[in-house]
Structure 1
Amino acid sequence: MSLSDIRRQYSNAHLTEQELTGHPIALFRKWLDDAIQSDSPDPTAMTVATVDPSGQPSQRIVLLKDVSEDGFLFYTNLGSRKAQELSQNNKISLHFPWFFMERQVRVCGTAHKLPTTENAKYFFSRPKDSQLAAYASRQSQPIATRELLMTQFKQLKDKFANKALPVPDFWGGFRVEPHQIEFWQGGEDRLHDRFEYNKTADGNWTTQRLMP
């Protein structure tokens, strides 16, 4: 079968004007809850897109760790490619690919580092082995073999077997403050429902329907 022949109808639902909320986070929370209740794997997974100084974009999957009207939270090694790119250009895009519900959400905004107190609170909420992994891996840096990584992890595990790790200064979170959020609901014959929220200068949100 040719790749161009692979297609299916999207017929689960529609998104109407009546379902829109005054603030896009309210609708996002509803869709996120639907994704979580669906029991599909990784409902909080999102694509994070950043841009390097030459204008080359890059993407990776991370997990959403909190959301409020202030924005979307995720955590990473501050030496990682995404963190380094955000330090030079904090414009960012997020994408939630809930294809199993025939839905997508696209977010455009700016990323801001979280304060040390918030980083510490979340770091110590993680399982001990996840804390150790943050120390063992210099994220995005080359390494000769996986065995070397596992050796570093085991050495740290032995060293901190009976004591707490300090909060790493090379690790932390970002809050993505959105200025545009699009909701996409698949429709039959590719006549999808798309609504875009845009934040105005006074902090309010406007909506418009987009053609599919």
Structure 2
Amino acid sequence: MPGFSAEEPELLPARFFMTAGRIEVESGAPEPTPLHHPYATTMEPEGARLMMITLLACLLPITAGPRPLTADPFQPLAFLVGSFSGPGQSQMGPYQETFEGRRGVGGTILEVRSTSKAGSMTVFQDLRVFSYDRVEKQLRCRQFAFGAVATYDVEVSTGGQKVVLTEEHFEGGTRAPWRYTYTAISKKGFSYAVHTKRGDVWRPYVSGTLKRAPQK
């Protein structure tokens, strides 16, 4: 090279390899130090093990199997899904009720509509919407009837054959709390009873049996 009288140093080929968790350099010259060779690194066995554990931890979510599906929280209410009708008895006398239950909003709610008639006169009509509180892990029910709204706590029996709705809050005035009890009767229908609370006592108000309508 012009301006230099010293001979240029011979460049020797170098080969990198790893053994026992250590990156080493093999060449015709002494092994360079990290100061002379900034890209050459060494790794102790303990560090190699930690790196392997970290790598495996990153791969586990990819190689793990699919998560099990969460159980349907509405399954205990399945016997309320469908079209039903039947006679009922109230303090005011006999009546006829129709009941329609169906899942909605992508299966995230159960919607129930019922109408009670004495002859040609409608004596009661309401809409009940069951939903699932994922934070409290609890079924809830809101009832809409004649401009008022009531909220119910939903209690399901262990065998899934009985559902009890106990009124927690009523919007739209003052009234005695209500309690609905639904009991499955095989696959043909269910019985129901409505009680009102007077003091500390739940008193019968209406009751009846609804049969599933034949499929068309």
TMscore range, shorter length: under 0.3
Q: Normalising by structure 2, report the TM-score.
A: 0.26
More helix by share: 1
Q: Which has the higher contact order (CA 8 A, sep 6+)?
A: 1
Q: Normalising by structure 1, report the TM-score.
A: 0.26
More strand by share: 2
